[in-house]
Amino acid sequence: MPTPRTPAASDEDHRAQMEALQTEMHAKMRAAKEKRGLLIVHTGDGKGKTTAAFGMLTRMLATGKKCAVIQFIKSGADPLEKILQRPTLTWHRVGGGFTWDTQDRAADIASCREGWDLALRYFADPDCAFVLLDELNIVLAYDYLPKDEILTALRAKQEMQHIVITGRGALPELIELADLVTEMREIKHPFKAGIKAQRGIDF
């Protein structure tokens, strides 16, 4: 939704502003006709990257289309994995937690490879409408998978499939390639005030 650039001085001004916005929105909607699968990136240091991706996943499940989730570097299950369970959803968790916990680079690389091989399978499935690669940005930032290989596969993605990638520190090349990029920016996070992660909010 566009918002007025300046507050209206009167009801008449308000009406004129709204009419101008309506004309602008209708023109944009007429121009935007094409539908195709999107490459979507959620990055930044603020909270909400994975949560927003799960929200989109939920919408896509409501269409009845097939969806897949691959969570990289995650050990614990998100409660949504159970709640969203249905025949059209497959959910994989690869990796044994954050790298500073595992301290085993070779094992981390192996589990990322396992996750990526799964991703390639879903990329090739014409019935799969939505693939969520949670924390793939972290995988790339740690150089656990070769970025050229990942970018090449993403460049060749099926036209109608949506792919969502989350995680801090998205590569500039990925941002360039993507259709939709959102940066979650931290303004405040309770962790900084010593408040622990909480069930229902963080996991």
Among 40, 44, 50, 164, binds Mg ion (CB under 5 A): 50
**Using an 8 Å Cβ cutoff, are 179 and 38 in contact?**
yes
Amino acid identity of residue 78, one-letter, is D
For the CB of residue 93, give the shortest distance to ligand ATP in the complex, in Å: 13
Contacts of 121 (CB under 8 A, 6+ apart): none
Neighbouring-strand partners of residue 69: 91, 132
Please compute Rg for the chain using Cα positions.
Answer: 20
**Using an 8 Å Cβ cutoff, are 138 and 73 in contact?**
yes
Among 21, 38, 47, 141, binds ligand ATP (CB under 6 A): 47
User: Nearer to ligand ATP by C-beta: 49 or 162?
Assistant: 49
User: Nearer to Mg ion by C-beta: 71 or 161?
Assistant: 71
Neighbouring-strand partners of residue 128: 66
User: Is 161 near ligand ATP (CB under 6 A)?
Assistant: no
User: Is 191 near ligand ATP (CB under 6 A)?
Assistant: yes
Number of residues that bind ligand ATP (CB under 6 A): 15
DSSP conformation class of 196: P
Find which of Mg ion, ligand ATP, none residue 189 binds, CB within 5 to 8 Å per kind. Answer: ligand ATP
Residues that bind ligand ATP (CB under 6 A): 45-51, 166, 168, 184, 186, 189, 191, 197, 202
